[in-house]
Amino acid sequence: MKKLLLASTSTVYGSTYLSYLKEEVYDFFTNVDEILFIPYARPSGITHEAYTQIAHNFFQQIGKQVVGLHSFAAPQEAIQQAQAIFTGGGNTFVLVNELYERNLMEVLREAVLNGTPYMGTSAGSNLAGKTMQTTNDMPIVYPPSFETLGVVPFNINPHYLDPDPNSKHKGETRETRIKEFHVFNDIPVIGLREGSWLRVVGEEITLKGSLTARWFEKDKTPKEIKEIAY
């Protein structure tokens, strides 16, 4: 049975890394001692080692060990044997490219579908969708495919922002870009606002946090949702 925790972000305004999710993360990883961390998204270009240390510093607060996937000579086996997996945020293009280059995408997908608990934040949440095409990131590398894990039946747009009527910026909004995506694709998209996350148990998907989410489908008017009914 699938078990996922997919958050829009790792850090909300005024908080430290994952602190706003601390109770949720503790509950999610209740029966887990060690978490396999996938650091490939490299936010701000930091090293895999530095990123793994950031994750380690948080998880030691709740009594969990963290080991970075980059440290294994046989990463496919590491994924297959992991008690649980966490993919951090950063650049989704870099993350997806690394997983394909190392032949890990399908191995990771099988692990999640077979019940290995999976947590993602930002790019790591993008990874759970059908494709990465609704990321907000710059295409600084070119992965061989935009297809991702497909362990939820839609795409995710983390860090979803509503238009600010008082802003003087007149560039594209997130809603505009998602509408552009739907000209060529029929995959539903959920816009997750900061401080929001999804809990997935089997086929049941629950929106958590204090905010609604924005739901987009091709040729339909976007709507606000408090629960996932797909």
Domains annotated for the chain, with CATH where assigned, are 3-225 (3.40.50.880)
pLDDT given for residue 165 in this prediction: 75
pLDDT given for residue 172 in this prediction: 79
* Residue 208 and residue 24 in contact, taking contact as beta carbons nearer than 8 Å: yes
* Residue 90 and residue 48 in contact, taking contact as beta carbons nearer than 8 Å: no
Query: Which residues are known catalytic residues?
Result: 122, 137, 159
* Residue 216 and residue 222 in contact, taking contact as beta carbons nearer than 8 Å: yes
Distances (CA, A) of 159 to 1, 24, 42, 63, 229: 28, 19, 17, 28, 21
Phi, psi dihedral angles at 87 (to 5 degrees): -110, 120
Percent of the chain with pLDDT over 90: 92
Report the alpha-carbon distance of residue 192 to residue 215 in Å, rounded.
9
Percent of the chain with pLDDT over 70: 98
pLDDT given for residue 227 in this prediction: 87
pLDDT given for residue 125 in this prediction: 98
R_g of the chain computed on alpha carbons: 17
* Residue 104 and residue 110 in contact, taking contact as beta carbons nearer than 8 Å: no
Model confidence band, residue 170 (pLDDT cutoffs 50, 70, 90): low
* Residue 52 and residue 45 in contact, taking contact as beta carbons nearer than 8 Å: no
Residue 104 has pLDDT above 90, yes or no: yes
Residue 149 has pLDDT above 70, yes or no: yes
Q: Alpha carbon 18 to chain centroid distance?
A: 13
Taking residues 23-33, what's their average pLDDT?
97
Average pLDDT of the residues of the chain: 96
Model confidence band, residue 39 (pLDDT cutoffs 50, 70, 90): very high
- Predicted TM-score (pTM) of the model is 0.96
Residue 164 has pLDDT above 80, yes or no: no
Is residue 4 classed as helix, strand or coil in its secondary structure? strand
* Residue 156 and residue 125 in contact, taking contact as beta carbons nearer than 8 Å: yes
Helices assigned H by DSSP within the chain? 22-28, 48-59, 75-81, 92-101, 105-113, 123-126, 174-184
